[in-house]
Homo-oligomer: A and B are copies of this chain.
Amino acid sequence: MEPIFVTDRIKNIIPIIREFVISELIPLEKDHLTRPFKQTEIILQAKREKVKALGLWGLHLTKEEGGHGLTLCEFGQLSEIMSLAPYYGQYTFNCQAPDIGNVELIGKFGSAAVKEKFLQPLLEGKIRSCFSMTEPEFAGSNPTRLGTTAVKEGDEYVINGHKWFTSSADGAAFAVVMAVTNPSAAPHERASMIIVPTNTPGFELVRNIPIFGETGEGWASHAEIRYTNCRVPISNLIGQEGAGFKLAQERLGPGRIHHCMRWIGIAEKGLDLLCKYAVSREIEEGVLLGEKQFIQGFIAESRVEIDAARLLVLRTAHNIDLYGAKAVRDQISGIKFYVANMFLKVLDRAIQVHGGLGLTDETMLANLYQHERGARIWDGADEVHKQAMARNILKTYGLDIKKKNK
């Protein structure tokens, strides 16, 4: 918690959420890896009702959408607290990715009809959705290159394509699909975002892709999907034709804040587990792990790095609130790679301190690492963000590399 970013509005909510997470969700973690996912979903359904009863539903939503009208910076801080139960927190509060991004997208750019049909049940937590952009055939770091097409026929789009890493597709009611509608336009203006219900003929969930050995299920999965002559009404378009890339950018700004705050919560959890073990594990007769300088080094460095990460993310969120994502895209790139690397390092240290135990399923550390190693890859690999950021900085020094190399 950074007091400077804590507003009056969230000052009182934070302890309530923390208490809820600690008493309602964290106790569920013990059996997470052995309990069937379906059963977890049932348990969480009850927790979601409690959240509603507490008036904490829709913390990410505008007042118009029935939410609290929090800023991104305010919500981010709540999201961190939810992440102390990383598997359940966001879902229980109905602000899990990718729904949170889709809600924002449709809320801003969807037609009234689309909102009624697709947004409303999302807000109520009756359905889930997914976001279908990355394709195996093209490097994900360059979203202007796509093989999926949406061809207009009459008042329908006919969609064909192959996607993967469509997270949470398993069980979702619809996908927001990125497809080329305007192949002869400039690269950044070729694609559009179109809603495809998952019961559309031709929508095939090929498989949930094993990620670091874990196939997952439901919202905790990443699907490979084929779209074969999927027909949807033209009115399922979000925003303008050809605006897909622009919308994706728009979506990513807050999306990265959400991810980063979640990662910071996980880092806090990792450091907490590390410290708890350090004060309880005897390494030699009468000597606790925490008395060893190597362990102390891990603790001190983790503490500073987590704090640095949180400050970076919250000031970026604050700036998005004030100036919009585009104005601070370098800050967004910066937190993406800084936080992703930071929290994986903290998790790795926590595993190392736990020794053999850290590799097992008796702590969540190894499982979290498996789940999250992708953080340095998706939404733009470290390398892509570093390059993009540096190029923007160099532009202010008069070197426009993109233009120069045209």
Q: Which residues of B contact A257 (CB under 8 A)?
A: none
Q: Does A297 count as interface, using CB distance less than 8 angstroms?
A: yes
**In the complex, A136 Cα to B311 Cα: how many Å?**
39
Q: Does A393 count as interface, using CB distance less than 8 angstroms?
A: yes
Task: Kindly name the residue among A278, A315, A360, A374 whose own CB sees the greatest number of chain B CB atoms within 10 A.
Answer: A360
- Among candidates B307, B383, B399, residue contacting A334 with C-beta atoms closer than 8 Å: B307
Least CB separation from A344: chain B residue: B348
Query: Are A301 and B386 in contact, CB atoms less than 8 angstroms apart?
Result: yes
Query: Are B212 and A356 in contact, CB atoms less than 8 angstroms apart?
Result: no
Q: Which of A150-158, A236-244, A286-294 contacts B (4 or more CB under 8 A)?
A: A286-294
**In the complex, A259 Cα to B373 Cα: how many Å?**
25
Query: Are B213 and A370 in contact, CB atoms less than 8 angstroms apart?
Result: yes
Query: Are A359 and B377 in contact, CB atoms less than 8 angstroms apart?
Result: yes
Copies of this protein in the complex: 4
Q: Does A46 count as interface, using CB distance less than 8 angstroms?
A: no
Point out residues on A near B: beta carbons under 8 Å: 2-4, 33, 134, 136, 138-142, 145, 164-165, 209-214, 275-276, 278-279, 281-285, 288-297, 299-301, 303-304, 307-309, 311-312, 315, 318-319, 330-331, 333-335, 337-338, 351-352, 355-361, 366-367, 369-370, 373-374, 376-378, 381-383, 385-387, 389-391, 393-394, 397-399, 401, 404-405
Q: Which residues of B contact A333 (CB under 8 A)?
A: 300
Query: Are A315 and B304 in contact, CB atoms less than 8 angstroms apart?
Result: no
Given A311-B312, A312-B311: A293 touches B387 (CB 8 Å cut-off): yes
Q: Which residues of B contact A290 (CB under 8 A)?
A: 390, 394, 397, 399, 401
Query: Are B139 and A394 in contact, CB atoms less than 8 angstroms apart?
Result: no
Nearest Cβ on chain B to A15's Cβ, whole angstroms: 18
